[in-house]
Amino acid sequence: MSTGHMSAGDPGGLEELAARQEALVRAMTAGGPLPPGFDAAAVRAAADAILRKRAGEVARAWPALAACYGDRWRAAFTAWAAERPTRGSFRDSWDFARAHRDGLSPAVALELALRETRWDYDGTGEPRLRKAAFRRVPGGFAVQVRGRLRVFGKAARR
């Protein structure tokens, strides 16, 4: 076997590759322009396949959220996600729910409120568990101390 190719390669080539890979990913996930020379329809088909896969992953991450939309879930999610690169299905589901508060069932609105009580998430950084929190939630209020969540009011009976 050949072993004569252990050089580090051409750093300029790697820099250009990095820029071209980023341009392609942005075109496929973030609404960026498609770099020249690609088959636009084929790249679109691949980007659409990724969106469908993401819709399925988010539905598995938060089934009740997807259930709010029934048969329209995939269309609703892909329309929202088309120019938003994934940040993992947990955060994608959360970001989607925050952006669609009016479309949530009462049960999912409560789940979202409880999630907000448990976690500190500014929408950009990684969510972090809160040490303690007190929140109004639909139908009552929630208290969370060191990961233990208690719900009071009508919401507690859901």
Partner 1 sequence: MNGTEGLPRLGVGIGWRPEIAGFVADLPGLRFTEVIAESVHLAHPPDHLLELRDRGASVVPHGVKLSLGGAEPVAPERVAHLAACAELLGSPLVSEHVAFVRAGGVEAGHLLPVPRSRAALDALTANIRRTRAELPVPLAVEPIAALFDWPDDEYEEGDFLTELVERTGVLLLLDVANVYANARNRGRDPVGLLDRLPLDHVAYCHVAGGEEGGGRYHDTHTAPVPPEVIDLVAELSARLPDRTRPPGFLLERDGRYPPAAELRAELDAIAAASGLEPVT
What residue ranges bind partner 1 (CB under 8 A)?
1-2, 5-6, 8-10, 13-18, 20-22, 24-26, 28-30, 36-39, 42-43, 45-46, 49-51, 53-54, 56, 85-88
Q: Which is nearer to partner 1, 40 or 102 (CB)?
A: 40
Supply the minimum distance, in Å, between the C-beta of residue 95 and partner 1. Answer: 13
What are the Cα distances from residue 92, in Å, to 47, 68, 95, 114, 136?
17, 16, 5, 17, 24
Q: Which is nearer to partner 1, 49 or 145 (CB)?
A: 49
Query: What CA–CA distance (Å, rounded) separates 148 from 10?
Result: 54
Helix, strand, coil percent values for the chain (each to nearest 5): 55, 15, 30
Supply the minimum distance, in Å, between the C-beta of residue 109 and partner 1. Answer: 27
Q: Which is nearer to partner 1, 47 or 107 (CB)?
A: 47
- DSSP assignment letter at 52: H
